[in-house]
Structure 1
Amino acid sequence: MSSTTMEASAALDGFHPITRQWFTEAFPEPTRAQTLAWPAIAAGRSTLLLAPTGSGKTLAAFLVAIDRIMFGLPEPTLSENKPGVRVLYISPLKALGVDVERNLRAPLAGVRAVAQREGVPFHEPQVGVRSGDTPAAERTRLNRQPPEILITTPESLYLILTSRSRDILRDVDTVIVDEIHSLVATKRGTHLFLSLERLERLRREDDPQRRPLQRIGLSATQRPLDEVARLLGGAEADANPEQPVRPRPVEIVEAGRSKQIAVTIEVPVEDMTQLAQPVVTGSAAGAPQPASIWPAIHPRLVELIRGHRSTMIFVNSRRLAERLAAAINELAEEELALAHHGSIAKDTRLVIEDRLKLGQLPAIVATSSMELGIDMGAVDLVVQIEAPPSIASGLQR
């Protein structure tokens, strides 16, 4: 047995036998990200996992928590009649949260099936999603019957913590922050890290000596890792301002790998300087207008879409997403592309995503709403129109 195989086998030793049996039946072996991360996560240590998209890092973060809830001893602080959330998954995008909720169904159903087959008692966790798209009736239900695993966004977490609903979070012992690189350099990220400290304080109202949250950060692109880990872990502080702030430890697990990516930069016109020369359009009284590059871009996009199985086109604004999708369809005289952004209704977004995954939609024109780790395995071409908003965003796309 090779050292790599032995290491992968040892990574499964921390799981309940039923969870381990399900995994070995479902997968040939753990991925590198899972092999390196599981020992730290199973030991209860806060962990920052750097791994590429498609490396199984979401299951690396979740499987330990699922194992604890299904076969571990509960640690309730609320009454037995009103259990609380145990695992809090924070997604920067609503679409990513919905995607993760779908992806959790397979391991939950698989572990349940093995446990039933072997006659082993278990507690199956409920999974809930709360975001800006969640209807009021569903939010009320989540408050009355909180799931053990709650998938939410930074903004929804803040709203829960500042309302009467916050009591459902007193039992949280694990927080998973996905695509953390999209948050650390922004005010949104600062707000999230403050919310995590509020959550820490809420958990300790009844027991000041309670163990800190286990925080798990997932990222595909972010560096420097030490700084990201510092922000993820937060710090302990005493009432005495003279006492130094004590950063909480976070273990960094780096499971990155080099990717072979074919990158082509295309300029749709031969001479870009010609675009600076005004042209007269419309009535004679109209002022000369600058030439447009878009009439040259649209035919090329139609050609690229028709030459590939599934295409994702990234743009930097919702308005451009709508205009570009409409122009592509008009030129092609058929529905080749649809726009995807945060202003589109939730149900419509889900239909668009499903159609692309199933190969029923040739292309999607998206803003950042689709760039963060959403499972789109059928996509074989990515097009970026204009410069991406940041280096991290460009790498992610």
Structure 2
Amino acid sequence: MPPLPPQITDWFAAKGWAVRRHQLEMLAAARAGSHALLVAPTGSGKTLAGFLPSLIELIETPQEGLHTLYVSPLKALAVDVQRNLLAPIAEMGLDIRVETRTGDTPSDRKARQRERPPQMLLTTPESLSLLISYPDAARMLSSVRTIIVDEVHAFATTKRGDQLNLAMARLQALCPDLRRVGLSATIADPEAYQGWLAPDADADSVTRVQGDPGAEPHVDILVPEGRIPWAGHNGRYAAKEVIKLIGSARLTIVFVNTRAVAELVFRDLWAENDDALPIGIHHGSLSPEARRKVEAAMASGRLRAIVATASLDLGIDWGDVDLVVQMGAPKGSSRLLQRIGRANHRMDEVSRAVVVPGNRFEYLESLAARDAVEAHELDVDRFRPGGLDVLAQHIMACASAAPFDADALYREIRSSAPYAGLKRAEFDRVIGFVATGGYSLRAYDRYKRLTQGPDGLYRVTHPRMSAQHRLNAGTIVEAAALNVKFGRNGRSLGKVEEWFASQLRIGDSFMFAGQVIAVTGLDGPDMHVKLSRGDPRVPTYVGGRMPLSTNLARRVRELFNAPHRWGGMPDDVHEWLDWQRVRSALPGLDDLLVETFFREGRWYMVAYGFEGRNAHQTLGMLLTQRMEAAGLEPLGFVGSDYMVAVWSLREVRDPKPLFSPDIFEEELAEWIAASPFLRRAFREVAIIAGLIDRQQPGQHKTGKQVTFSSDLIYDVLRRHEPDHLLLTAAWTDARSKLTEVERLAGLLDRAQASMVHMSLDRVSPLAVPVLLEAGRERVFGRADDALLLEASALAAEAMPLPAEMALLPG
């Protein structure tokens, strides 16, 4: 391989560094013109390895115009990479311009970038998709030589990944010699990602570079006073101990799993913060200005801790972070490893993390996650065909750039890995939908977006259709939200979801951005607030909870069946497991434990499936539906990541028929069709596909208006065109994303092969946590006291009396 340019070697020498093996291998792949996938631990110089070939090419062959596109899953990551890339470029004295282009970039800068693009542009899938929709896209993008996809695992199995892969196919058509580069630290199946990254899904065309392993992370599980709560899922009970940890570290990131919990944990930490340590908060509902302010404070060392959601999960190098705290179980070993990597962010230094389990099941899950990290065992991602709604949006983007030939576009789209299996008839269906809206809607001019001319090319019917596309493009469909602003003309704090705002009145207070604020007025899309005091409400958000991974579920089962490890657990967890073995049975490695018991006028049935919250919620629906048909008079159900509990007026004597896989598909189809799931899924795919606009120029569209439009179209299509493209897409989403059909089907099969039914005379120790969840998923604050009282009552019933302790094994 030719020697490195002196600017590069001198810079490494000045830093006292040596070029790492994997960085040289990435350079060799680039010189050979090969696509490349780098899998290397956090802090190993992955990002530099991705950019190094581009820097060298621009040193050896300077060019004007766009040379390298870098795509990140987070706006903050793009800004962070720009900051960390500008310094080396300046220190090397290179004449290379680097800029970012995200949804937060001012419109005048975006316009200037299209006229005079930098050599390196750092962006997101949404902004890249918008770039290819402009008539000057070919001129701007034809000079691109490399596209770098950072944190590729965060994209590949999602609709954002579909959008990005389609954009790469378009880029490849404009630039046949384009090199694709993927970077990640947490991939369990590299070959699958090579196929996703490659043109035509040709995994062999992608050179895989494996980085050297870094220092082993050190993970502790925090158990304040040796006790673990019965219920809860966010670790808030440990706020005092977490503040002590923050006080002992330079800079701590406290990760939580949802935005609502971020606000709660921030409040709890401040209540215990006697030394007034500077703490910030960061999540996706805060305004860009608020997030940037916190990021700048972190980077400059003015904070001791930050409470964050997945908004800081990936890649960002804050340098001085030396501790990560995970509040609540991480739900997956890959996610935990990704978050641990924020500490030190240097390959050769140990990353330190502390997990705070929310309850006793979460203690086992946290232990399982730590075991998986130590065993270098990551969660395997599930790939699926690309979404037809995303394809419809992409076709509209291509048409907005220039008229297209359907045959040529079909070949191009088939080169995108998620769409490699797309049939021509399906592609034509999507073209027909984009052109007319489909058979039932073709009479309405508003849905006529494309016209086929005498030359056979498809064109946009009117320029306003392209403008409308650009205003509404994207695959992230969030609930309708209101802007939260100080005063009438004050700064924006961020957004709260419309359904939460509708519950507030003038004077009501709530927690947001780590402050207590009160509503002073509502004005269209804006909610005006002022600082306040008192006992505030906490905004809650639709969705957001992450399901337990199958990998961790298996490891948790193994812990139930490993009594030799119980002695190292907290005494109350050890006793909980011991007494479960006496009162009932423990879930086996491959069986389905089902318990039935009578309590306070109701019959309960609890099934320990370990298939994640979505699958268990769907199972609860299925069980109550079947129980109703059997005359068992079900009253309700609740599901967690580990189990589902159903209660009824009549006893379930033989649960096995209720778990039969027979006619499961038919029952599920009937239920999904009658439930809000399918309407919600349809609303999302209709927005992504461009059938329903989220925004119109100068207008604010409320969530109710969007829902009304969606429901109206949904009812028309269900009645007149039940095989409509979007109904098919909605059905696919509802089955896979909302109901976890595959995991549920596996659970039903397991029930027939190896169900263990325990008929008990009282509630079992394992059943206590799920019964405490019934009806309380969104209750915070003063309801905690009632929860503690009920936990005490249930625990007293489930656990042994002093006279019974002799029954414990050993």
TM-score by length of 2: 0.40
2: CA distance, partners of 1:370 / 1:299: 23
1:90 alignment partner, one of 63, 71, 85: 71
Match of 1:316 among 232, 238, 257: 257
Q: CA 1:318/1:273 → structure 2, altered by over 3 Å: closer, same or farther? A: closer
Other-structure match for 1:263 = 219
CA RMSD of aligned residues (A): 2.4
Q: What's the secondary structure of 1:47's corresponding residue?
A: strand
From 120, 130, 135, the counterpart of 1:149: 120
**1:44 pairs with 2:15:** no
- The one of 254, 268, 279 equivalent to 2:210 is 254
Asked if structure 1 preserves the Cα contact closer than 8 Å seen for 2:86 and 2:98, the reply is: no
1:297: how far off? 1.9
CA distance in 2, matches of 1:154, 1:293: 31
**In the alignment, which residue of structure 2 is the partner of 1:286?**
none
C-alpha displacement at 1:150, in angstroms? 0.5
State the match for 1:137 in structure 2.
Answer: 108
User: 2-side partners of 1:110 and 1:370: how far apart?
Assistant: 28
Task: Report the alpha carbon displacement of residue 106 of structure 1 after superposing the two structures with TM.
Answer: 2.1
SS at match of 1:260: coil
**Which residue does 2:88 correspond to in 1?**
107
Q: Distance in 2 between matches of 1:358 and 1:389?
A: 32
Q: Whole-Å Cα distance in 2 between the matches of residues 293 and 396 of structure 1? A: 19
Aligned counterpart, 1:29: 18
**Please, which of 266, 282, 299 is the counterpart of residue 357 of structure 1?**
299
Q: Give 3-state SS (helix, strand or coil) of 2:103's partner.
A: coil
**Partner residue of 1:174 out of 115, 139, 146:** 146
Checking the alignment, whether the CA contact within 8 Å between 1:47 and 1:252 is kept in structure 2 is yes
Q: Quote the residue 2:671 is aligned against.
A: none
C-alpha distance in 2, partners of 1:165/1:56? 35
User: Structure 1 residues 47 and 307, CA, compared in 2 at 3 Å: closer, same or farther?
Assistant: same
SS in 1 for 2:24: helix
Give the conservation status (yes or no) of the 8 Å contact 2:97–2:118: yes
Q: Distance in 2 between matches of 1:140 and 1:153?
A: 17
CA contact (8 A) 1:157 1:195 kept: yes
The answer for the alignment partner of 1:224 in structure 2 is 189
Residue 384 (structure 1) aligned to one of 326, 334, 357? 326
CA deviation after TM superposition for structure 1 residue 335, in Å? 4.8
What amino acid maps onto 1:91 in structure 2? S
The equivalent of 1:118 in structure 2 is none
Q: Say whether 1:60 aligns with 2:16.
A: no
Cα separation, 2, equivalents of 1:25 and 1:132: 37
3-state DSSP class of the match of 1:384?
strand
Segment of structure 1 superposing worse, 340-349 or 130-139:
340-349
Q: Compare CA radii of gyration and give the structure with the larger one.
A: 2
Q: CA deviation at 1:274?
A: 5.0
2:71–2:123: 8 Å Cα contact kept in structure 1?
yes
Q: Measured at CA, do residues 224 and 112 of structure 1 come closer, stay the same or move farther in structure 2, by a change above 3 Å? A: same
Q: Assess, with a 3 A threshold, how the Cα gap between structure 1 residues 131 and 292 changes in structure 2: closer, same or farther.
A: closer
- Determine helix, strand or coil for the equivalent of 2:93: helix
1:304 has 2:245 as partner: yes
What 5-or-longer segments of structure 2 have no aligned partner? 340-810
Give distance in 1, aligned partners of 2:238 and 2:306: 16
- CA separation of 1:295/1:175 partners in 2, compared to 1, >3 Å: closer, same or farther? closer
Q: Is the 8 A contact 2:234 2:256 kept in 1?
A: no
- CA distance 1:14–1:230, change in 2 (3 Å): farther
Q: Counterparts in 2 of 1:7-18, with a 5 A limit?
A: 13-18=2-7
Q: 1:361 to 1:249 in 2, by over 3 A?
A: same
Deviation at 1:129, TM superposition (A): 0.4
CA contact (8 A) 2:39 2:186 kept: yes
In the alignment, which residue of structure 2 is the partner of 1:199? Answer: 171
Alpha-carbon deviation of 1:391?
A: 3.0
For residues 94-133 of structure 1, the C-alpha deviation after alignment (integer angstroms, 9 at most, x for no partner) is 11111110111122112227xxxxxxxxxx2211100111
d(CA) in 1 for partners of 2:39, 2:83? 23
Amino acid at match of 1:38: L
Deviation at 1:247, TM superposition (A): 5.6
Shift of 1:344: 2.2
Q: CA deviation at 1:366?
A: 0.7
User: How far apart, in 2, do the equivalents of 1:35 and 1:175 lie?
Assistant: 18
Q: Per-residue CA shift, 1:174-219, capped at 9, x if unaligned?
A: 011111121122222122112111211233xxxxxx43x1111111
The farther-off stretch of 266-275 and 163-172 is 266-275
Instruction: Tell me whether 34-43 or 167-176 shows the greater mean CA deviation.
Output: 34-43
1:325 pairs, out of 250, 259, 266, with 266
Amino acid at match of 1:306: G
Indicate how the Cα distance of structure 1 residues 109 and 336 shifts in structure 2: closer, same or farther if over 3 A, else same.
Answer: closer
Q: How many Å apart are 1:227 and its aligned residue?
A: 0.9
Opposite residue 130 of structure 2, the aligned amino acid is L
1:321, 1:367 within 8 Å by CA — same for their partners in 2? Answer: yes
Native 8 Å contact 2:278 2:302 kept in 1: no
**1:154 Cα deviation after fit:** 1.0
The answer to whether the Cα contact below 8 Å between 1:234 and 1:248 also exists between their aligned partners in 2 is no
Cα displacement (A) at 1:269: 7.1
Over the matched positions of the two proteins, sequence identity in percent amounts to 38
CA drift at 1:61: 1.4
1:367 and 1:294, CA in 2 relative to 1: closer, same or farther beyond 3 A? closer
Aligned partner letter, 1:98: V
Maintained 8 Å contact 1:311/1:363: yes
Contact preservation (8 Å) 1:193, 1:234:
no
Aligned to 2:180: 215
Could you say which residue in structure 2 is the equivalent of 1:72?
Answer: 61
Q: Residue 281 of structure 1 corresponds to which residue in structure 2?
A: none
Once residues 142 and 303 of structure 2 are traced to their aligned partners in structure 1, the CA distance between those partners, rounded to angstroms, is 43
| Structure 1 position 36, deviation (Å) | 3.0
Q: TM-score, normalised on structure 1? A: 0.78
Q: Deviations over 1:211-269 (max 9, x none)?
A: 3x11111111112111111111121xxxxxxxxx8666000010130432221122447
Q: How does 1:280-299 map to 2 (within 5 A)?
A: 296-299=237-240
Aligned residues: 337
2:96 maps to what in 1?
A: 125
CA–CA separation in structure 2 for the residues paired with 1:268 and 1:310 = 21
Secondary structure at the residue paired with 1:373? coil
Alignment CA distance shift 1:230-1:303 (3 Å): same
Q: 2:280: which partner in 1? A: 338
